[in-house]
């Protein structure tokens, strides 16, 4: 592994914090722009069959348990906080390349959606691809972070874990 890749791959706490802060800020800014520009349910065409559709997700991932009210908000908040702690603990104990960046993406996505749940009572979704539930930047960050972490763990050697 080259020096540049090593510095990037084994991102330190400051790099992870900057990644997380940038993702949370971008997520909240895009959601604000969508809420300001589109009425609830309004849709605009995007390339590749995607639509920009303003939706409020009152449930959990992919709209499951929609209209669950306060119970879903409290449950998702609690699970999100536990998940953040677990992911940070796992990544913090490993020397795997990209673990810090992956953790930052997961934590930032969880925080971005948590801000919506606490402030608005639901999560603002807007990216609406064909044959897939609508999602947002925070959801994408979580998915990409989990993917990176799984690939890093799958490709790791036992000596990288310690």
Q: Where is mean pLDDT largest: 3-7, 25-29, 141-145?
A: 25-29
Confidence class for position 25, pLDDT limits 50, 70, 90: very high
Per-residue pLDDT at 65: 54
Residues 34/35/36/42 CA torsion (nearest 10 deg): 80
CB proximity list for 62: less than 8 A, separation 6 or greater: 133
Domain ranges in the chain are 11-160
Query: Which has the closest alpha carbon to 116: 38, 29, 28, 40?
Result: 28
Residue of 27, 58, 128, 139 marked active site: 139
* 26 within 8 A of 18, measured Cβ to Cβ: no
Contact call for residues 114 and 146 (beta carbons, < 8 A): no
Number of H helices, E strands in the chain: 5, 3
> Is 160 one of the catalytic residues?
no
Q: What is the pLDDT of residues 97-141, one digit of tens each?
A: 677 888 889 889 989 988 998 899 889 999 999 988 899 999 999
125 is catalytic: yes
Catalytic one of 27, 58, 116, 125:
125
Q: Give residue-wise pLDDT tens across range 45-75.
A: 999 899 999 999 876 655 555 655 556 656 6
């Amino acid at each position: 592994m080259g020096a540049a890749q090593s510095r990037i791959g084994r991102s330190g706490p400051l790099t992870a914090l900057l990644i997380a802060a940038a993702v949370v800020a971008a997520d909240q800014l895009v959601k604000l722009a969508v809420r300001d520009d589109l009425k609830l349910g309004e849709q605009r065409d995007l390339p590749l069959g995607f639509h920009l559709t303003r939706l409020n997700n009152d449930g959990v991932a992919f709209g499951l348990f929609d209209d669950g009210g306060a119970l879903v908000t409290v449950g998702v908040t609690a699970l999100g906080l536990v998940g953040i702690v677990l992911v940070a603990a796992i990544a913090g104990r490993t020397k795997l390349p990209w673990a810090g960046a992956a953790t930052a993406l997961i934590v930032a996505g969880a925080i971005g959606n948590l801000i919506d749940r606490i402030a608005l009572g639901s999560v603002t979704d807007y990216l609406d691809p064909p044959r897939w539930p609508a999602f947002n930047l925070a959801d994408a960050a979580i998915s990409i972070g989990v993917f990176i972490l799984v690939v890093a763990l799958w490709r790791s050697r036992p000596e990288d874990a310690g």
